[in-house]
Amino acid sequence: MVLLCSLRCVALAAGAWLASSEFKAIDFLPDVADCSATLTTPVHFECKGKLARDQKYDVWKTSLDFHFGLLAEEEWVTLRQQYTAPWAGIGIFSGWTPLFDGYDGEHQYSIKDFLPPTIRALDGYNFVEEDEALPAGVPLPPAPPSAPRVYNQTILVPNCWATVCELLRTIAQCRMDMTTVYHDVYSTDDKDAQRWAEEATTIVPGPYTAADRRFGDVMLVFLRDPQMKRAILQHAVIFVDQDIVFEKAGSGSKNPYRLIDLTTVEKEWKPTLQGGLFEWVLHRPLLRNEHQKSFAEQFSLLSMDVDERWPQFWQWPKELQATHTLGRSDNPRNPEEGVLGLTVMKARRYALKKTGSDWAPLLVSVPRVQDSVVV
């Protein structure tokens, strides 16, 4: 039975405008580690590895940053063209909105200054999972012997591919100069994520090692074996440069949002091309208007057709349907067995708060399709 990071989900919630208790800034050690990761820009940079103080696993301990320092305006223009133009409409690109600042000769620049606000706000954070009892006073599925088991708590936690999906949704909106950006925190099961990838991306043929990996490309990491009748999606990252990606490194409370080099990801999810277990497939996003759907519009109970096997979930109030979805576990070696277990997964919405040149996630008071950035 498959109950992986794929079965974890999250996004909208009620509450005042206040600092989130689920997002936790990573406590980095004061010293930084040198790194050999590279960018393709001709502008001089220094790569530094930020080391998490309380991370016991080496593969998740390091987050990268690339420092440019003071820039001449022509250098700033070069970086803006490479790292901002792919995600920004003309208004954002020109510095007319709060989402991207114009040139400042006194500013010490890093790569994050040129990246989408989602990356600027989430990089350097963990998210602490929130498990709660199933909603009281609402119909729940019966439990005859033949029915799949329903996990007895709801789960609020982000996973890797939901993070990629949200980032691409924001990029698609920013390319239209929409400044009402937000971030829905959630997970889906891996089957829903694979369906989303089929609709919202195209496969870049050939081995990923030979591909010209572009800003916004997505790497999907699958587990397959001869006994499996379907592949399991295990991980997803999004590229900001040829060998640098942004990721939510799994769904655990100590799995960071970070910029990291592809070599580190390969150590964790060793590709079959290197003798490992995992098949890597490069996808290119389509970034069409229909790919700007929020969690509620794309993955929630409210967006799904009623499943007659457990229709009670669609008897819930609309606000609960809009903020919950179902993770369905199965046996990939014998999917014909059907669904073996259900997990009710929550969603919660965050705005992206800007203070000076820094950004952070901020809990939204009322779940809506769109919420304005706080500046």
Residue 140: Cβ within 10 Å count = 15
Residue 315: Cβ within 10 Å count = 12
Pairing between β-strand 358-363 and β-strand 348-355 as defined by DSSP bridges: antiparallel
pLDDT tens by residue, 19-53: 345 899 999 999 888 899 999 999 999 999 999 99
**Distance of alpha carbon 240 from alpha carbon 114, whole angstroms:** 10
User: Is 307 a residue whose pLDDT tops 80?
Assistant: yes
Pairing between β-strand 130-133 and β-strand 109-110 as defined by DSSP bridges: unpaired
* Helix runs in the chain, H state only: 58-61, 73-83, 90-93, 117-122, 160-174, 190-200, 262-268, 295-298, 318-322
pLDDT value of residue 17? 34
Phi first, then psi, for residue 204 (nearest 5°) are: -85, 110
Identify the band that residue 363 occupies on the pLDDT scale cut at 50, 70 and 90: confident
User: Is 370 a residue whose pLDDT tops 70?
Assistant: no
Identify the band that residue 143 occupies on the pLDDT scale cut at 50, 70 and 90: low
Tell me what percent of the residues of the chain surpass a pLDDT of 70: 90
Can you tell me the mean pLDDT for 322-345?
Answer: 92
pLDDT value of residue 2? 41
CA angle centred on 177, ends 172 and 180, rounded to 5°: 85
Can you tell me the mean pLDDT for 76-103?
Answer: 97
**Distance of alpha carbon 240 from alpha carbon 149, whole angstroms:** 41
pTM: 0.90
Amino acid identity, residue 312? Answer: Q
pLDDT value of residue 321? 96
Identify the band that residue 85 occupies on the pLDDT scale cut at 50, 70 and 90: very high
Amino acid identity, residue 237? Answer: V
Nearest of 224, 229, 155 to residue 7 by alpha carbon? 155
Which structure tokens are listed for 273? 């091309």
Tell me what percent of the residues of the chain surpass a pLDDT of 90: 74
pLDDT value of residue 343? 95
User: Is 230 a residue whose pLDDT tops 60?
Assistant: yes
Average pLDDT, the chain: 89
pLDDT tens by residue, 324-335: 999 999 989 988
Identify the band that residue 194 occupies on the pLDDT scale cut at 50, 70 and 90: very high
Nearest of 156, 122, 159 to residue 10 by alpha carbon? 156
Which structure tokens are listed for 256? 């960071």
Which structure tokens are listed for 360? 């952070």
**Distance of alpha carbon 163 from alpha carbon 255, whole angstroms:** 13
Can you tell me the mean pLDDT for 202-225?
Answer: 95
Do 2 and 329 touch, CB atoms closer than 8 A? Answer: yes
